[in-house]
Structure 1
Amino acid sequence: MPQIVPVILCGGSGTRLWPRSRASKPKPFLPLIGEGSLFEATLDRCSGGDFSSATIVTGAAHLGHVRAQGEGRNLSIIVEPAARNTAPAIALAAARLPHDQIMLICPSDHHIADTKAFAAAATTAAKLAREGWLVAFGIEATRAETGFGYIRRGEPLAGDARRIAQFVEKPDRARAEKYLADGGYFWNGGIFCFTAGRYLKELSRTRPAMAQAVQIAVAHGHVDEECFHPDGNAFAAIVGDSIDYAVMEEAEDAAVVPVSMGWSDIGNWPSLQEARGGGLDGNVTRGPAELVNCRDVMTDSDGPRVSVVGMEDVIVVVDGDEVLVTSHAGAQKVGQLAGAKNQ
């Protein structure tokens, strides 16, 4: 019997990819790379082999997209009554599974180019999870990135796996360059593996009120077609927190499985440009476009032709009646635009 249940988290609004990503249809459900959406790509790589049918944790606002893009697949859907971050969302799934069931926690909006490397890392992580470890994927750091958290590796375990010595917050440029030169640090990509019972036990130790509230929400929930709806009052009382803070950073039996798999969180327009790839000039276009004497320019249009002449380090996005023009540095602040916050 397949041994790993993928638990795919579908939340957030992807405001840093405005105007393409909007509250009505955020980043996971858009075809940003290839023909299918990031969510569909996540479902595809978490199927077959050692994987069982997936559990999706999402909010009511995204349920229609999950159903439409997951049509024909045997999915179990949990509808969060409120957004309370990843720790309680994962606990909802864990509380609905057998205690010895291995779970692989996957964001729904990441890009992974090498799906074979992903599957191999999942198999390695599952073996550790069966032994009681709480496992994180350690993404090979390819540059001095200040936008990601890091994992510092500790003593060796089986194979390439390591005990986690420390989770490190997003560093400044100098520290990021030091981590890259050191070679003992990985990016924290937000992919985790453990058994349902091990996760709930650790959450009960570190966040007992959260764990209890989740259990009550599940006990008093109800099933509607293929969806499970936890009790709204019990879940809304939870003080939200991420799995990183609530569980992984406080766990003693935490391990990291290193993996190089062409990973990107597609967290902003420059990261999408990098994931799409370009020619020697670094230019990337989608939709009608003409670029003359340009370098490192990306255009993305859903209709109108975009013409750019003699520019470098520029991103132009056209979506309906909205137009975004930004430099790569400025793209970090796209989420602060009034239009992105009031979609």
Structure 2
Amino acid sequence: MGRRVRPVILAGGAGTRLWPESTPTRPKHLLEPFGSGTLLRQTIERVGDSTRFLQPILVCSETQEELNGSEGPECRLILETHPRGSAAAIALAAHLSDPEDVLLILPSDHLISDPKPLFDAVASALPAAEAGRLVTFGIKPTHAETGFGYITVGPTFEASVHEVREFVEKPQKARAEELLRSGEAFWNSGMFQFKAGAFLDELRQYAPAIHEATRASIAGASSIENRVRPDPEALKRSPSNSIDYAVMEHSHRIAVVPLDMQWSDVGSWAAVHELSPKDVDGNVAENGHAIDSRNCLIRSSGPTVVAIGVEDLVIVATPDHVLVVPRSDAQRVREAAALAEKLAKKG
């Protein structure tokens, strides 16, 4: 692959998508939805080859310091006292890096069964990143998903690297089907590659308040061993925004590398059901049982759960909460998480 790149792993989840197992103190990336280690640990191990990758930087909330630290002892941790979205999180890592370092930005909670296509894409993107491009990776869509953003591609200018024609926010069904048929649209993966200095140059131009607040925060940071605490008062001044809104949708230096691989952002319990091994009736059961039931996800870390004569349900129990929702409405779990938080505050 040539020079080694530095992974930057973003671990700032709010803990709502897989409620009630995920919570603000233990968000999705710290769960084991498939029984093969936490999603964070899988991400760290994915970039563990020292011939390809430098020491990873893990950006996470200070409130989750010990949990994240135990999952990634080989990482350098940036501990956010005031999380300000992905643009600021990436900026903190970029300010901490050498401007010539090529950064590979990875969410901490994605599932990738075979990382080889990703490694190949990282190698393909390296010359463009070294030339000052901000490269994003687009996943070849398998269906007309309305829960993802899309990237439409223009001409190829180097190997498998394309110009970006358009960023499309989460589309309606008809638009998603149109994008799928075009063959020129890819899911926005949330993975990026660029030189630290190139990203900061674009951030300074398009989101100067984020650039200045994060610069000052790293300038005033304290460090103990592998843990860096940005100055909290400086970080508090940063606007909260995503990298897409702050930089990628404005910059003229964007490129995209399409990726054809098995990938999921594990964005709902419906996704967990889809990705898990099933019995002959399509059920996934962990500490639960399905009788005369079909296509259900049943999980419990508390009482044993038995489902009888039901179909297409998600049933998730913890010692404190029980969730029951149709699989087709699994995205509404955030409403349950918000209600639980509201009730908890009432005491």
Report the Cα offset of residue 281 of structure 1. Answer: 3.5
Is the Cα contact below 8 Å between 1:50 and 1:123 reproduced in 2? no
Instruction: Select 2:59's aligned residue among 51, 57, 60.
Output: 57
Deviation per residue, 1:202-227 (Å, 9 max, x gap) = 10111122212221111121212321
Q: Which residue of 1 aligns with 2:209?
A: 209
Please give the alpha-carbon distance, in whole angstroms, between the structure 2 residues aligned to 1:321 and 1:85.
29
1:302–1:42 CA distance, 2 compared to 1 (3 A): same
Question: Contact 1:273–1:284 at 8 Å: present in 2 too?
Answer: yes
The aligned residue for residue 102 of structure 1 is 102
Give the 5 Å matches for 1:1-343: 3-48=4-49, 49-71=51-73, 73=74, 75-279=75-279, 281-287=281-287, 289-337=288-336, 338-339=339-340
8 Å CA contact 2:124–2:160 kept in 1: the answer is: no
Aligned residues: 340
- Whether the 8 Å CA contact 2:303–2:318 is kept in 1: the answer is no
Q: 1:166 to 1:277 in 2, by over 3 A?
A: farther
Change (3 A) 1:221 1:196: same
List 4+ stretches of structure 1 deviating above 4 A.
340-343
Equivalents in 1 of 2:12, 2:262: separation in Å? 23
Offset of residue 126 of structure 1: 2.3
RMSD: 1.6
Deviation at 1:2, TM superposition (A): 5.5
What letter is aligned with 2:21?
R
- In structure 1, list runs of 5 or more residues that go unmatched: none
Contact in 1 for aligned 2:206/2:246 (Cα 8 Å): yes
Contact (CA 8 Å) 1:213, 1:237: kept in 2 or not?
Answer: yes
The residue type equivalent to 1:12 in the other structure is: G
| Normalised TM-score (structure 2) | 0.94
How far apart are 1:251 and its partner, in Å? 1.2
Per-residue CA deviations over 1:243-262 (Å, capped at 9, x if unaligned) read 00111111112111111221
The TM-score, its normalising length taken from structure 1, stands at 0.95
Gaps (5+ residues) in structure 2?
none
Matches of 2:342 and 2:243, distance apart in 1: 25
CA distance in 2, matches of 1:198, 1:26: 31
In the superposition, relative to structure 1, how do residues 341 and 54 fare at CA in structure 2: closer, same or farther (>3 Å)? farther
Identity between Structure 1 and Structure 2 (%): 39
The AA in structure 1 aligned to 2:7 is: P
**Distance of 2:277 and 2:140 partners within structure 1:** 19
CA distance in 1, matches of 2:112, 2:119: 11
**286 and 21 in structure 1: CA distance in 2 versus 1, 3 angstrom threshold:** same
